[in-house]
Amino acid sequence: MDDRHSQDPPMSRSGLIIALYSALALIAILLSAGRDDVDIYRIEGTSTAGRLALSPLLGLLVAALVIIGSRLMVRRWAWGRRLHQDFRHLLGPLSNREILILAVASAVGEELLFRGALQPWIGLWPQALVFALLHVGPGARFLPWTASALVMGVAFGYMFVWTGDLGGPIVAHFTINYVNLRFIARTDFAPARRSTTPPLVPMRAQVATPPEGTAAPTSPDETDPQAA
């Protein structure tokens, strides 16, 4: 049998996303289990029923503030629009399904690893630094994204400490990624291309040129002195 026909089809982009973030979640669970921390989602002694209910609402509030800030960034500053366009080119076309999968997988996988497993082990600021290093883009033009990841890593870390659970960080992380990815995929700030086609001359401005050797038509006043 031909080997070309026996090869499995390549994994889709959605499949790669799920595999990557599932691996991060598995690493987080193993790290937590190695430290005898059986509940990676909550902080024992801090989490309460009231805070479990409040945590997702706090996450939505933080996400709303971040999304508003990102919209102001791309509307007011040229570097923000350039970064937006760079992400459009980097990510390529994204379907609604891919955006949803990427937002869910990244929120769950990264929060389990960085806030759930690493923060209790190495501390809040070190985990935020590692989180930022994971968000280094292909070039200096992506440094604002890395800096924002550092800020978000600190903010999510403090949210985890205050609420005692990962509900808020996961909801905030998912909402920011989902809304911003849809905005990047659907909004193009590239300048419109100017048409190279010369404008049409209005009909009233066009003057018929008589054939060579013939006289141009004249008005009645010029040909008939008796015309009234």
Number of domains the chain is built from: 1
Instruction: Look at the chain and count its residues.
Output: 228
Residue 91 within any structural domain of the chain: yes
Residue 205 within any structural domain of the chain: no
Residue 165 within any structural domain of the chain: yes
Supply 52's token pair. 């479990």
Residue 224 within any structural domain of the chain: no
Q: Give dist(CA 116, CA 100) in Å, integer.
A: 22
Q: Give dist(CA 167, CA 42) in Å, integer.
A: 9
3-class secondary structure, 2: coil
Domain that holds residue 164: 13-186
Q: Give dist(CA 41, CA 51) in Å, integer.
A: 13
Residue 192 within any structural domain of the chain: no
Rg over alpha carbons for the chain, rounded to the nearest Å, is 31
Residues 6+ apart with CB under 8 A from 174: 103, 104, 107, 108
> What are the pLDDT tens digits along the chain (228 aa)?
455 555 656 779 999 999 999 999 999 999 999 999 889 999 998 999 999 999 999 999 999 999 999 999 999 999 999 999 999 999 999 999 999 999 999 999 999 999 999 999 999 999 999 999 999 999 899 999 999 999 999 999 999 999 999 999 999 999 999 999 999 999 998 875 555 555 555 544 455 555 555 555 555 554 454 444
Residue 37 within any structural domain of the chain: yes
